[in-house]
Structure 1
Amino acid sequence: MRRFSLVWSGQFLSAIGSGTAWFAVTLWVWGESGSATLFALLTLLSLAPGLAMAPVAGVLVDRIGPRAAVLIGDGVLAVTSATVLTLYLTGNLEIWHLYVIAVVEGVMESLHLVGYMALIPLLVVEERLVRANGMVSLADPGAEILAPALGGVLLAMTDLSVVLVLDLATFLFAATVLLATPTPRPAPAGEEGDGEERRSWAVFRADLVFGFSYIARSRPLAVLLGLFFVLNFSGAVSYALTTPLIMLRSGDDHAVLGVVLAAGGVGGVLGALTVSAVGARVRRMTLVLAGMAAGSVVGPLLMGLAWTPWLWIASALAAGAVLPAVNSAYQAIWQTHVPEEWQGRVFGARRLLAQSSLPLGLLVAGPVVDYALTPLFADAGGAPAALLGTGKTGATALFLVCAGLLGLTATLTAMTSPRLRGFGEPVTAPSTGREDTLR
Structure 2
Amino acid sequence: MRRFSLVWSTQLMSAIGSGTAWFAITLWVWAESGSATLFAMLTLLSLAPGLAMAPIAGALVDRIGSRVAVLVGDGALAITTSTVLTLYLTGNLEIWHLYVIAVFEGVMESLHLVAYMALVPLLVVEERLVRANGMISLASPGAEILAPALGGVLLALTDLSVVLLLDLVTFVFAALVLLVVRTPRPAVAEGERRRSWAVFRADLLFGFAYIFRSRPLVLLLLLFFVLNFSGAISYALTTPLIMMRSGDDQALLGVVLAAGGAGGVLGALVVSAVGDRFRRMTLVLGGMAVGSVAGPLLLGLSWTPWLWIASSLVAGAVLPAVNSAYQAIWQSHVPERQQGRVFGARRLLAQSSLPLGLLIVGPVVDYVLTPLFTDTGPGIGVTLLGGDKTGATALFLVFAGLLGLVAVLLAMTSARLREFGEPVATGAVKASEPPEPTDHEGMSTPR
Give TM-score scaled by structure 2 length: 0.94
The 8 Å contact of residues 63 and 193 in structure 2, kept in 1 or not, is answered as: no
Instruction: Name the aligned partner's letter for residue 101 of structure 1.
Output: I
Matches within 5 A, 1:17-416: 17-188=17-188, 195=194, 197-200=195-198, 203-378=199-374, 379-416=376-413
Question: Structure 1, unaligned stretches of length 5 or more?
Answer: 432-439
Per-residue CA deviation, residues 283-328 of structure 1 (Å, 9 max, x unaligned), is 0000000001110000000000010110000000000000000000
Find the aligned partners of 2:129 and 2:406 in 1 and give their Cα distance.
Answer: 28
Find the aligned partners of 1:193 and 1:270 in 2 and give their Cα distance.
Answer: 45
SS in 2 for 1:199: helix
Per-residue CA deviation, residues 104-161 of structure 1 (Å, 9 max, x unaligned), is 1000000000000000000000100000000000000000000000001101110000
Per-residue CA deviation, residues 208-246 of structure 1 (Å, 9 max, x unaligned), is 000000000111011000110011000000000000000
Instruction: Name the aligned partner's letter for residue 71 of structure 2.
Output: L
Question: Structure 2, unaligned stretches of length 5 or more?
Answer: 429-447
Find the aligned partners of 2:190 and 2:339 in 1 and give their Cα distance.
Answer: 14
Per the alignment, residue 422 of structure 2 pairs with 425
Instruction: Name the aligned partner's letter for residue 368 of structure 1.
Output: V
Find the aligned partners of 2:196 and 2:220 in 1 and give their Cα distance.
Answer: 32
Shift of 1:71: 0.3
Instruction: Name the aligned partner's letter for residue 399 of structure 1.
Output: F
Give TM-score scaled by structure 1 length: 0.96
Find the aligned partners of 1:306 and 1:187 in 2 and give their Cα distance.
Answer: 54
The 8 Å contact of residues 268 and 320 in structure 1, kept in 2 or not, is answered as: yes
Find the aligned partners of 1:325 and 1:300 in 2 and give their Cα distance.
Answer: 18
Instruction: Name the aligned partner's letter for residue 386 of structure 1.
Output: T
Q: CA 1:355/1:191 → structure 2, altered by over 3 Å: closer, same or farther?
A: farther
Instruction: Name the aligned partner's letter for residue 102 of structure 2.
Output: A
Per the alignment, residue 434 of structure 1 pairs with none
Give runs of ≥4 in structure 1 deviating > 4 Å: 190-194
Shift of 1:194: 7.5
Shift of 1:275: 0.7
Find the aligned partners of 1:130 and 1:353 in 2 and give their Cα distance.
Answer: 22
The 8 Å contact of residues 287 and 326 in structure 1, kept in 2 or not, is answered as: yes
Shift of 1:193: 5.4
Find the aligned partners of 1:383 and 1:29 in 2 and give their Cα distance.
Answer: 42
The 8 Å contact of residues 134 and 325 in structure 1, kept in 2 or not, is answered as: yes
Q: CA 1:430/1:35 → structure 2, altered by over 3 Å: closer, same or farther?
A: farther
Find the aligned partners of 2:52 and 2:378 in 1 and give their Cα distance.
Answer: 44
SS in 2 for 1:420: helix
Find the aligned partners of 1:181 and 1:406 in 2 and give their Cα distance.
Answer: 44
Per-residue CA deviation, residues 77-123 of structure 1 (Å, 9 max, x unaligned), is 00000000000000000000000000010000000000000000000
SS in 2 for 1:423: coil
Per the alignment, residue 433 of structure 2 pairs with none
Shift of 1:381: 1.6
The 8 Å contact of residues 267 and 319 in structure 1, kept in 2 or not, is answered as: yes
Q: CA 1:86/1:383 → structure 2, altered by over 3 Å: closer, same or farther?
A: same
The 8 Å contact of residues 42 and 98 in structure 1, kept in 2 or not, is answered as: yes
Find the aligned partners of 1:363 and 1:355 in 2 and give their Cα distance.
Answer: 14
Find the aligned partners of 2:394 and 2:347 in 1 and give their Cα distance.
Answer: 29
The 8 Å contact of residues 380 and 390 in structure 1, kept in 2 or not, is answered as: no
Find the aligned partners of 1:430 and 1:177 in 2 and give their Cα distance.
Answer: 31
- What value does the CA root-mean-square deviation take over the aligned residues? 1.2
Find the aligned partners of 2:420 and 2:31 in 1 and give their Cα distance.
Answer: 50
Shift of 1:186: 1.7
Shift of 1:380: 4.0
Find the aligned partners of 2:112 and 2:16 in 1 and give their Cα distance.
Answer: 15
Shift of 1:385: 1.3
SS in 2 for 1:419: helix
Aligned length: 427
Q: CA 1:253/1:430 → structure 2, altered by over 3 Å: closer, same or farther?
A: farther
Instruction: Name the aligned partner's letter for residue 244 of structure 1.
Output: P
Find the aligned partners of 2:146 and 2:302 in 1 and give their Cα distance.
Answer: 27
Q: CA 1:380/1:399 → structure 2, altered by over 3 Å: closer, same or farther?
A: farther
The 8 Å contact of residues 285 and 423 in structure 1, kept in 2 or not, is answered as: yes
Shift of 1:192: 7.0
Find the aligned partners of 1:193 and 1:4 in 2 and give their Cα distance.
Answer: 29
Per-residue CA deviation, residues 378-398 of structure 1 (Å, 9 max, x unaligned), is 134222111101100000000
Find the aligned partners of 1:57 and 1:64 in 2 and give their Cα distance.
Answer: 11
Instruction: Name the aligned partner's letter for residue 9 of structure 1.
Output: S
Shift of 1:198: 2.8
Per-residue CA deviation, residues 244-268 of structure 1 (Å, 9 max, x unaligned), is 0000000011000000000000000
SS in 1 for 2:223: helix
